Amino acid sequence: MAATIRDVARASGVHVSTVSRTFSAPHLVNTETRNRVLAVAEDLGYRPNRAARALTTGRTHNIGLIVADISNPFFPPLIKAAQAHARARDYHVFVADTDEDPQVEEELIQTLAKQVDGVLLCSPRLSNRAIERLHADVPFVVVNRRMKGLPTILMDVGEGARLAIEHLTGLGHRRIALLSGPVGSWTSGEMRAAATATDGVELVILGPNAPTEQGGLAVAGEVVASGVTGVLAYNDLVAIGLIEGLYERGVRVPDDISVVGVDDIVSGRLNRPKLTTVAMPTAAAGRMAVDLLLQSFGEGATPTLATLDTSLVVRESTGEVRT
């Protein structure tokens, strides 16, 4: 059994409260005593039990981070940034994957609720109502989903979609497909709204699609059949899958069809053709999410909305429409 505060107290001839202070309020204890306690603690391999500490303080110094699919390369940069940022502030991040299942998501939140001080909800699939209900149990910061009354971080994917469509029309494309994402995805809705609002475009909406390479692969036939020359995919994974699906059908990118993705994941930069895409500020979002959450622990916590800019990165998967 690991050493407890009591062991340290006994071994150093002071009372538990003094040991406690040595760790949580060192300035309140005599330097000499403190050093002695510290030495004994070191000797015994004592480390304060965070869970027990949380019971009295109400602060676990843990943050939960919930994502729909950890294997989507969109998330790791966000996760890593959040972890690093949190660690620098003496918080730890626990990541959990919901497998795109709202019910698992809910369970996870409830489990996490008492073990963390707050939860970062990334691209949640839960209904607004459910989120509001769960919010009674634990503070949230929501990423990529508009939630009134909760601290929210949005990446301006609508603007990105607009840029992408403009890029395509600039290349002469008139008939363009939008590959939408999962039902309930805020991002997908934003993209759709932006695309619909653009003039001079015949928009074909295909979906919902799974936000994966498989999703893109599966919709390739429909894309070909739709007779479009340009495509804006829900994300890079879908775009990559689509390109492969088109390739299998003898359709070339960008020669026959231009494809734009969203996210700017690493493998999009290495695949051939290198992907033209809407770059999402994922790392910044991860850091900001942590900041907002910690901030919300303080007094007078005001729900905040932070919108981060996106940008279009033009690479090789888009080209002029063939005449």
Partner DNA sequence: GTGAAAGCGCTAACAA
Partner DNA sequence: TTGTTAGCGCTTTCAC
Residue 14 binding: pick among DNA, a copy of itself, none (C-beta 5-8 Å cut-off by kind):
DNA
Residue with tokens 């080209």: 319
- Total Cβ atoms within 10 A of residue 322: 10
Residue 96 contacts a copy of itself per CB under 8 A: yes
Q: Which is nearer to DNA, 34 or 173 (CB)?
A: 34
The partner residues of 262 in beta bridges, in order of sequence, read 278
Which span sits near DNA by CB under 7 A: 13-21, 89-97, 135-143, 182-190?
13-21
- Note whether 75 and 97 are within 8 A (CB): no
Q: Three-class SS of residue 185? A: coil
Q: Which is nearer to a copy of itself, 159 or 244 (CB)?
A: 244
**Distance, CA of 126 to CA of 104 (rounded, Å):** 10
Residue 33 contacts DNA per CB under 7 A: yes
Largest separation between any pair of C-alpha atoms in the chain: 88
Residue with tokens 């850091």: 287
Residue with tokens 């940069």: 77
- Which secondary structure element, helix H or strand E, spans residue 286, and what is its range? helix 282-297
- Which secondary structure element, helix H or strand E, spans residue 132, and what is its range? helix 128-134
- Decide: residue 16, CB within 10 A, 0-12 exposed, 13-18 middle, 19+ buried: middle
- Note whether 310 and 159 are within 8 A (CB): yes
Residue 284 contacts a copy of itself per CB under 8 A: no
Q: How far is the CB of 6 from DNA (least distance, A)?
A: 6
Residue 39 contacts DNA per CB under 7 A: no
Q: Which is nearer to a copy of itself, 51 or 193 (CB)?
A: 51
Which residue in 115, 128, 169, 311 binds a copy of itself (CB under 8 A)?
Answer: 115
Tokens of 144: 């990529």
Which span sits near DNA by CB under 7 A: 5-13, 132-140, 178-186, 248-256?
5-13
Q: Three-class SS of residue 312? A: strand
Q: How far is the CB of 58 from DNA (least distance, A)?
A: 8
Residue 196 contacts DNA per CB under 7 A: no
Q: How far is the CB of 296 from DNA (least distance, A)?
A: 19
Residue 270 contacts a copy of itself per CB under 8 A: yes
Residue 29 binding: pick among a copy of itself, DNA, none (C-beta 5-8 Å cut-off by kind):
DNA
Residue 21 contacts DNA per CB under 7 A: yes
Which residue in 17, 30, 110, 295 binds a copy of itself (CB under 8 A)?
Answer: 110
Residue 15 binding: pick among a copy of itself, DNA, none (C-beta 5-8 Å cut-off by kind):
DNA
Which residue in 39, 42, 43, 57 binds DNA (CB under 7 A)?
Answer: 57
**What size, in residues, is the chain?**
323
